[in-house]
Amino acid sequence: MVDGKYKVKNELSKKLGEHAGKLTVTNKDFTYEHTWKPESLNKDGMESTLVAEGKLMPAADNWEGKVEYKVGGVDLGGAKAWTEVSRIRQA
């Protein structure tokens, strides 16, 4: 309890094959994150992940969304190369 106000946070997550989802609910916002790791793109040392996240903040009448694509994991003699492409949208 901070300043006489309660803070509440609940999380629910589930993984089904290549897909994983996580719903987080607090007393201020709702967030859903979906992760997809396609088996066909995760071979021969390569790692590939697509992450989509949405967040709704009802009290502020606001929302935001984010999509990320991450690919890499190639061994370059002790170092691993990664590339990440992101798009964020807010209202």
User: Which amino acid does the sequence have at 90?
Assistant: Q
Residues facing 52 on adjacent strands: 34, 67
Digit-coded pLDDT (tens) for 41-59 = 888 888 899 999 999 999 8
Q: What pLDDT is recorded for position 2?
A: 53
Q: Would you place residue 18 in the very low, low, confident or very high pLDDT band (cuts 50, 70, 90)?
A: very high
Q: How many domains, the chain?
A: 1
Average of per-residue pLDDT values in the chain: 89
Quick one: pLDDT at residue 11? Answer: 97
Q: Which residues contact 29 (CB under 8 A, 6 or more apart)?
A: 55, 56, 57, 58
The reply to whether 4 falls in a domain is: no
Domain assignment of residue 30, yes or no: yes
Range of the domain at 46: 9-90
Task: Pick the more confident residue, 5 or 2.
Answer: 5
Evaluate whether residue 1 is within a structural domain. no
Between 86 and 29, the higher pLDDT residue: 29
* Statement: residue 1 has pLDDT above 60: no
- Using alpha carbons only, what angle is made at residue 12 by residues 51 and 37, rounded to the nearest 5 degrees? 25
Report if residue 3 sits inside a domain. no
Residue 51: inside a domain = yes
Q: Could you tell me if residue 42 is inside a domain?
A: yes
Percent of the chain surpassing pLDDT 90:
56
Rounded-to-integer distance, Cα 20 and Cα 34, Å: 6
